[in-house]
Structure 1
């Protein structure tokens, strides 16, 4: 099968599509024939050597597709339409491939209201958003500033927080106001108030600058694991390290089918054009996810 890998760190040209053996599922694993796999900023980080690694590295975390092989004791059947998060910064093969093997408990049934291309944008970004909100532990009526509210994680966070009864303010570019409000943000800003919010979810990776917008004793969560700023003014600070969780992913799928969560595809690329997709994402300004189609 074909798979996208990195053998030497560098720019988009460092991504290669190679021929490799089709992986076989072990106990409590399944193999998915990939229909769509989103490209995320973490893939650019792996490609550039941000996370290290000294071997050939596979790329891709998100997958939507069809189960085509099942290991022992895996509660799935060949032909099931599924989505999954394949977690791991330094893995031999990722989801940017024709087939991928994942743990059965990282899998959920695919949404029935969208196609596989859109479904492929859900796992990593939505799980990151909901797990970050769980860390913040906000209650109904409290205020949350989402920095990067028009982005993939930020957009999900706005929708999920608003559904919990949190008063959400979205921070994004002026041209994104209509979209961010359509997600359920009560307010929109390009210049947040210092100390004006019970919590900040920093999906834009602003760091200490974003911490200044948290009230005394409030909370801050970032999306780059271990890179959150230290506490100031009694504010609790943390970062989310996303975990694969099939049960939680199934809940998010349900919200897609209920129309609560919006899935956005900016553009699709053939697997052989993966380097081109990397270059496009690196350029910035993408609204929605780029999705690879093997």
Structure 2
């Protein structure tokens, strides 16, 4: 499986979940996040851009905001009968009908049973959530400003004042 854009929070979870499911994971990530992606369990970490792979993959999960030509090219790294899953809502997932490569557009679909499975994986330690800090609700504007200036490392949990005591 290729996870394109694995350096963010969602990518880190995708790597962990794919490894938990038994997949060999190839991930793309930038220099700032490549070590974090390796720590999440990626077997191989490549730089940004269309990767040159030794052999095609069964699945590509695109999490990166790529241009339309880059997204379309991802179908070319998928083996016949495989799938490209795209999370960028402004472009449709590419497909290649001649080779049986399907394109799937993925949107949020909250499902209580799936969320319960994720909670069970977190509780068992099989899915790690990197909590960088806890902040009071009053500091939320500063946290948003910090996030706008650049990516945050880990998750920030925001608590109402009474919960911090």
TM-score with structure 1 length normalisation? 0.46
Once residues 67 and 18 of structure 2 are traced to their aligned partners in structure 1, the CA distance between those partners, rounded to angstroms, is: 21
Runs of 4+ residues deviating >4 angstroms: none
CA offsets 1:205-254 (integer angstroms, 9 cap, x no match): 22531442332543211223463344347432222121222221111111
Structure possessing the higher radius of gyration over alpha carbons: 1
2:78 touches 2:84 (CA, 8 Å); kept in 1? no
Say which structure, 1 or 2, has more relative contact order (CA 8 Å, 6+ apart).
Answer: 1
2:91 corresponds, among 227, 241, 256, to: 227
1:202 corresponds, among 58, 62, 87, to: 62
In the other structure, the counterpart of 1:189 is: 46
Q: List gaps (5 residues or longer) in structure 2.
A: 161-165
1:281 touches 1:290 (CA, 8 Å); kept in 2? no
Once residues 198 and 160 of structure 1 are traced to their aligned partners in structure 2, the CA distance between those partners, rounded to angstroms, is: 16
The structure-2 alpha-carbon separation of the partners of 1:293 and 1:164, relative to structure 1 and needing over 3 Å to count, comes to same
> 1:167, CA displacement in angstroms?
0.9
> In the TM superposition, what are the counterparts of 1:99-178 in structure 2 within 5 Å?
144-178=1-35
* Paired residue total: 151
Once residues 44 and 71 of structure 2 are traced to their aligned partners in structure 1, the CA distance between those partners, rounded to angstroms, is: 17
1:200 touches 1:210 (CA, 8 Å); kept in 2? no
CA RMSD of aligned residues (A): 2.4
Once residues 178 and 151 of structure 1 are traced to their aligned partners in structure 2, the CA distance between those partners, rounded to angstroms, is: 12
In the other structure, the counterpart of 1:212 is: 73
> In the TM superposition, what are the counterparts of 1:26-65 in structure 2 within 5 Å?
none
Once residues 132 and 103 of structure 2 are traced to their aligned partners in structure 1, the CA distance between those partners, rounded to angstroms, is: 32
Once residues 207 and 222 of structure 1 are traced to their aligned partners in structure 2, the CA distance between those partners, rounded to angstroms, is: 12
The structure-2 alpha-carbon separation of the partners of 1:225 and 1:181, relative to structure 1 and needing over 3 Å to count, comes to same
Kindly indicate which of the two structures has a greater share of residues assigned to helix.
Answer: 2
Q: List gaps (5 residues or longer) in structure 1.
A: 1-143
The structure-2 alpha-carbon separation of the partners of 1:210 and 1:196, relative to structure 1 and needing over 3 Å to count, comes to farther
